[in-house]
Amino acid sequence: MLRAFLCVGAAFLFALFVFPASTFAHVIGAPEPWGFDLQKAYSPVKEVFHDFHNFLLIIITLITLFVLGLLVYVIVRYNARANPKPASFTHNVKLEIIWTLVPVLILVVILVPSLKILFYSDKTTEADLTIKAVGHQWYWSYEYPDHGGFTFDSRPIWDGPATTAEDAAKLIAESSPHWLIPTQQPLRLLEVDHRIVVPVHANIRVLTTADDVIHSWAMPALGVKKDAVPGRMNETWMRIEQEGVYYGQCSEICGTGHGYMPIVVEAVSKEKFSDWVSSKQKQAGIAPPATQPAAEPAPQTRAKGAVDGAAASAAEPAVGAATTPTQPAADHNTEATPEEKAE
Ligand SMILES: [Cu+2]
């Protein structure tokens, strides 16, 4: 019995430390088998979340240990055998003031950084580009309003529990040509046919809305989770510092297909992003800009932990955005363009 227990324990530890790192080395923002703790941070907001989480962990650990110590002390010192004649007093004004004030002070200590982070993650004042995510039952569609407003649907490859591995393999074979960063082993229930593409080192304004019920656009590794509410436009932002593929999911129960509306973001270099935008504009019949502005490095003021970072950049054109006024998309709905259909 003990041996079986030890074997299971050893297997668990092995899986914990060896399996995740080796299996999904090509994917950087995704859940891992046997993973625990928060996902690794790949955006400044998520880094601040980590710091705040660690700070709270210290406070909560101290409180738990203190309460545990009190309990043990009371159990040992004041049990019926050790203390046969209990005291009869009922009030202690000094103690009552202390146990009211100390928790209030602890809450204030938590409140201050908490509010700071709330405002920091709320919106970016100097966005390099904007993407709009629209939730549907049960898939996402995306719009790039700074780049002529082309749109596309992003549908899950595993479209419910009935999807077989063979079906998924077929869909992956069809979809992978659309992916800029190929993944050798697409993650079950987390892969989509058309991924969102964004540039690295850019402040990305994310607008969310929905056309049926409330959904939520959530990317754990990027510290983003914003409800997508019908008839309302919510805003948040992200900045990705490392190229790679990031996975998220709808995080607001939205119906039977809720578990099957993943989100996949590809963060690529600004040059690759511009090329991708041009190809999407071509598909959507949007006139390409006369000149493509050189992709300037975005200001670094929003980098790592810069909660109080002062606003920096001057009005900079959106990354890869058209310099000439762009025509609106020929067809603003999310139907596939003829070129897409032909594929
Ligand atoms: Cu949902």
The rounded average pLDDT for each run of 10 residues, N- to C-terminus, in the chain (343 residues) is 53 46 57 85 92 95 96 94 89 94 96 94 87 92 90 83 74 76 75 89 93 94 93 93 91 90 91 89 75 49 44 45 42 42 39
Predicted pLDDT at 218: 94
Predicted pLDDT at 211: 92
Cβ neighbours of 262 (radius 10 Å): 23
304 Cα–ligand 1 center, Å: 30
56 Cα–ligand 1 center, Å: 29
Q: Which is nearest to 302 in space by CA: 223, 208, 233? A: 223
196 Cα–ligand 1 center, Å: 18
193 Cα–ligand 1 center, Å: 18
The tokens describing 271, both together, are 């040059």
| Residue 326 Ramachandran class (φ > 0 left, ψ -120 to 50 alpha, else beta) | beta
The tokens describing 256, both together, are 């039977």
Predicted pLDDT at 339: 42
Predicted pLDDT at 175: 75
Predicted pLDDT at 165: 75
230 Cα–ligand 1 center, Å: 13
Predicted pLDDT at 280: 85
215 Cα–ligand 1 center, Å: 5
How many H-runs (helices) and E-runs (strands) does the chain carry? 7, 10
Question: CB–CB of 154/195 below 8 Å?
Answer: yes
253 Cα–ligand 1 center, Å: 5
End-to-end CA distance of the chain: 58
23 Cα–ligand 1 center, Å: 28
Predicted pLDDT at 4: 57
Report the C-alpha gap between 80 and 140 in whole angstroms. Answer: 64
Predicted pLDDT at 9: 54
244 Cα–ligand 1 center, Å: 24
Predicted pLDDT at 94: 94
44 Cα–ligand 1 center, Å: 26
Q: Which is nearest to 196 in space by CA: 155, 137, 146? A: 155
250 Cα–ligand 1 center, Å: 4
Predicted pLDDT at 18: 42
276 Cα–ligand 1 center, Å: 28
225 Cα–ligand 1 center, Å: 12
pTM for this entry: 0.71
20 Cα–ligand 1 center, Å: 27
Question: CB–CB of 46/222 below 8 Å?
Answer: yes
Question: CB–CB of 301/314 below 8 Å?
Answer: no
Type of residue found at 332: H
